[in-house]
Chain A
Amino acid sequence: MAAVFKNPLIRWIDHRLPVFSYLQHEANDYPTPKNLSYWWNFGSIAGFMLMIMIATGIFLAMQYTPHVDHAFNSVERIMRDVNYGWMLRYLHMNGASMFFIAVYIHIFRGIYYGSFKAPRELLWIIGVVILLLMMATAFMGYVLPWGQMSFWGATVITNLFSALPVVGGKIVTLLWGGFAVDNPTLNRFFSLHYLLPFVILGVVVVHVIALHRFGSNNPTGIDMKGSQDSIPFHPYYTVKDMYGLGVFMLFYAFWVFFAPVALGDPDNFIPANPLSTPEHIVPEWYFLPFYAILRSIPDKLTGVLAMGASIAVLFILPWLDRSPVRSGAYRPAFKRFFWTLVFVCAILMFAGKYAPANYWLPFEFTIVPPEALSEAAHLESVDALWPVTFAGGHFGIQVIFLGQLATVYYFGFFLVILPLLSIFERTLPLPLSISKAVLEHHGGGAVQSSPAAAKEKA
Chain B
Amino acid sequence: MKKRSILLNGLAVLGGLVAILFIAAEPHEHLPGDPKEIVIPREEWSFNGVFGKFDQAQVKRGFQVYKDVCSACHSMDLVSYRNLTQIGFSEDEVKNIAASVQVTDGPNDAGEMFERAGKPSDAFKAPFPNEQAARAANNGALPPDMSLLARSRAGKGFTGYEGADYIHAILTGYKDAPADFKLGDGMNYNEYFHGHQIAMPQPLTDGAVTFADGAPNALEDESRDVAAFLTWAGEPNLESRHLTGLKAMLFLVVFTLLFYAAKRKIWARIH
Residue of B nearest to A332 (CB): B5
**Which residues of chain B come closer than 8 Å to A409, judged between CB atoms?**
15
| Complex CA–CA separation, A332 to B9 (angstroms) | 10
Known: A79-B237, A366-B27. A339 touches B259 (CB 8 A): no
Which residues of A, 253-273, contact B by the 8 Å Cβ criterion? 253-254, 256-262, 265-267, 269-270
Residue A350 lies at the interface, judged by CB distance under 8 Å to chain B: yes
| Complex CA–CA separation, A340 to B148 (angstroms) | 42
Interface mask (B240-271 → A, CB under 8 Å = 1, otherwise 0): 11101110110011011001101100110011
| Complex CA–CA separation, A253 to B248 (angstroms) | 7
Q: Check if B151 sits within 8 Å of A266, measured CB to CB.
A: yes
Among B9, B15, B163, find the residue whose CB has the most chain A CB atoms closer than 10 A: B15
Q: Check if B263 sits within 8 Å of A239, measured CB to CB.
A: yes
Residue B177 lies at the interface, judged by CB distance under 8 Å to chain A: no
Q: Check if B16 sits within 8 Å of A343, measured CB to CB.
A: yes
Q: Check if B237 sits within 8 Å of A86, measured CB to CB.
A: yes
Q: Check if A362 sits within 8 Å of B25, measured CB to CB.
A: yes
Residue A346 lies at the interface, judged by CB distance under 8 Å to chain B: yes
Q: Check if B151 sits within 8 Å of A261, measured CB to CB.
A: yes
Known: A262-B157, A394-B31, A402-B22. A337 touches B245 (CB 8 A): no
**Which residues of chain B come closer than 8 Å to A16, judged between CB atoms?**
none
CB contact between B30 and one of A76, A235, A253, A368 (< 8 Å): that residue = A368
Q: Check if A366 sits within 8 Å of B266, measured CB to CB.
A: no
**Which residues of chain B come closer than 8 Å to A262, judged between CB atoms?**
157-158, 160
Residue of B nearest to A253 (CB): B248
Q: Check if A250 sits within 8 Å of B31, measured CB to CB.
A: no
Interface stretch (choices A57-65, A204-212, A240-248, A309-317): A240-248
Known: A346-B19, A360-B22. A340 touches B29 (CB 8 A): no
**Which residues of chain B come closer than 8 Å to A358, judged between CB atoms?**
27
Q: Check if B236 sits within 8 Å of A80, measured CB to CB.
A: yes
| Complex CA–CA separation, A119 to B94 (angstroms) | 69
Q: Check if B248 sits within 8 Å of A365, measured CB to CB.
A: no
Q: Check if B263 sits within 8 Å of A240, measured CB to CB.
A: yes
Residue B113 lies at the interface, judged by CB distance under 8 Å to chain A: no
Residue B208 lies at the interface, judged by CB distance under 8 Å to chain A: no
Chain B nearest CB, measured from A432 CB (Å): 19
Residue of A nearest to B236 (CB): A80
Residue A367 lies at the interface, judged by CB distance under 8 Å to chain B: yes
Q: Check if B148 sits within 8 Å of A243, measured CB to CB.
A: no
**Which residues of chain A come closer than 8 Å to B11, judged between CB atoms?**
336-337, 340
Known: A354-B27, A366-B28, A366-B32. A239 touches B262 (CB 8 A): yes
Residue of B nearest to A234 (CB): B266
Residue B83 lies at the interface, judged by CB distance under 8 Å to chain A: yes
Residue B147 lies at the interface, judged by CB distance under 8 Å to chain A: yes
Residue B175 lies at the interface, judged by CB distance under 8 Å to chain A: no
Residue A295 lies at the interface, judged by CB distance under 8 Å to chain B: no
Residue A452 lies at the interface, judged by CB distance under 8 Å to chain B: no
Q: Check if A246 sits within 8 Å of B18, measured CB to CB.
A: no
Residue B8 lies at the interface, judged by CB distance under 8 Å to chain A: yes
CB contact between B252 and one of A253, A267, A340, A376 (< 8 Å): that residue = A253
**Which residues of chain A come closer than 8 Å to B25, judged between CB atoms?**
360-362, 365-367
Residue B38 lies at the interface, judged by CB distance under 8 Å to chain A: no
Residue B4 lies at the interface, judged by CB distance under 8 Å to chain A: yes
Interface mask (B192-233 → A, CB under 8 Å = 1, otherwise 0): 000000000000000000000000000000000000000000
Residue B176 lies at the interface, judged by CB distance under 8 Å to chain A: no
| Complex CA–CA separation, A343 to B29 (angstroms) | 26
Residue B78 lies at the interface, judged by CB distance under 8 Å to chain A: yes
Known: A243-B260, A253-B248. A365 touches B151 (CB 8 A): no
Chain A nearest CB, measured from B43 CB (Å): 18
Q: Check if B152 sits within 8 Å of A364, measured CB to CB.
A: no
Residue A347 lies at the interface, judged by CB distance under 8 Å to chain B: yes
Residue of A nearest to B151 (CB): A269
CB contact between A267 and one of B32, B152, B237, B248 (< 8 Å): that residue = B152
Shortest 4 CB-CB distances between A and B: which pairs?
Answer: A257-B245, A246-B256, A343-B15, A336-B8
| 11 A-B contact pairs sorted by A residue (CB < 8 Å) | A76-B147, A242-B263, A258-B50, A269-B151, A269-B152, A343-B12, A346-B22, A365-B25, A366-B31, A376-B31, A409-B15
Residue positions of A touching B, CB distance < 8 A = 34, 73, 76, 79-80, 86-87, 90, 231, 235-236, 239-240, 242-243, 246-247, 249-250, 253-254, 256-262, 265-267, 269-270, 332-333, 336-337, 339-340, 343-344, 346-347, 350-351, 354, 358, 360-362, 364-369, 372-373, 376, 394, 402, 409, 426, 442
- Known: A250-B253, A257-B248, A372-B30; 20 extra A-B contacts, CB below 8 A, are A73-B77, A86-B240, A90-B241, A235-B266, A239-B266, A246-B256, A249-B252, A250-B249, A253-B248, A332-B5, A337-B11, A339-B12, A344-B15, A347-B18, A350-B22, A351-B22, A354-B27, A366-B26, A373-B31, A409-B15
